[in-house]
With several copies, the nearest count.
Chain A
């Protein structure tokens, strides 16, 4: 067992698709600091992808063309080691959780994979909707080499 060395990190970006690449890069760097991660490539990729999907939705559906900001907080918790990702936006639209349905993967679809992927890739997904103040909290356990 090793101990996590990461300090909490806040990333604030303009709500554009291009800026999301900074979020990916920073999450990669953040996880790279953690010692003893099992299958680090896979774990990192899955977290980066989930956050990418979440933030893409905020840009496309939340701000829907309006300008704004997205704040992503990263934090480690112990026992078991896990990464807690908080995402906040001031977008006017909210995600309608009740109206959501899982996609049918048997027919190839062009839409509707994002939320489903986030659920598959994360251990916990929590959403506190409020127009102008949406909050997401994603938790992912970081498997440690024995």
Chain B
């Protein structure tokens, strides 16, 4: 039988904000992500597991990244925050429908 086998190497960048992601720190996070997009990264995992606080300015950075990554043929997945309070806000704002939610950073 004819079976063709081809390989794809893909690079995923895991970005983990470990402090408040709010209106004050969002520009720093945005800058960091812009640099990665400029490098050609299109597959992102944003690891929110250790993010203690996330406001709408922080969420805006995630949505903006999602749009740009998808435009470039990639995607953004979120690792669930450990904080239940943050988790509930992601449900309230339906971010769990917009992003693929992961329980933990995928092993490789």
Direct contact of A and B (CB under 8 A): yes
Residues on A facing B (Cβ under 8 Å): 17-18, 20-21, 24, 41-42, 44-46, 48-49, 52-53, 56, 59-60, 105-106, 108-111, 113-114, 117, 120
Residue among A52, A56, A113 making CB contact with B93, cutoff 8 Å: A113
Residue among A59, A60, A108, A113 making CB contact with B98, cutoff 8 Å: A108
The residue on B at minimum CB distance from A111 is: B60
Residues on B facing A (Cβ under 8 Å): 20, 22-24, 53, 55-57, 59-60, 63-64, 66-67, 83-86, 88-89, 92-95, 97-98
Residues of A within 8 A of B67 (CB): 108
Would you call A49 and B55 a contact (CB within 8 A)?
Answer: yes
A103 to chain B, nearest CB (A): 9
The residue on B at minimum CB distance from A52 is: B55
B30 to chain A, nearest CB (A): 11
Would you call B59 and A42 a contact (CB within 8 A)?
Answer: no
Residue among B60, B84, B89, B95 making CB contact with A49, cutoff 8 Å: B89
Report the 9 A-B pairs with minimum CB-CB distance, sorted nearest first.
A45-B85, A17-B24, A113-B56, A110-B60, A56-B23, A108-B98, A105-B94, A108-B63, A17-B23
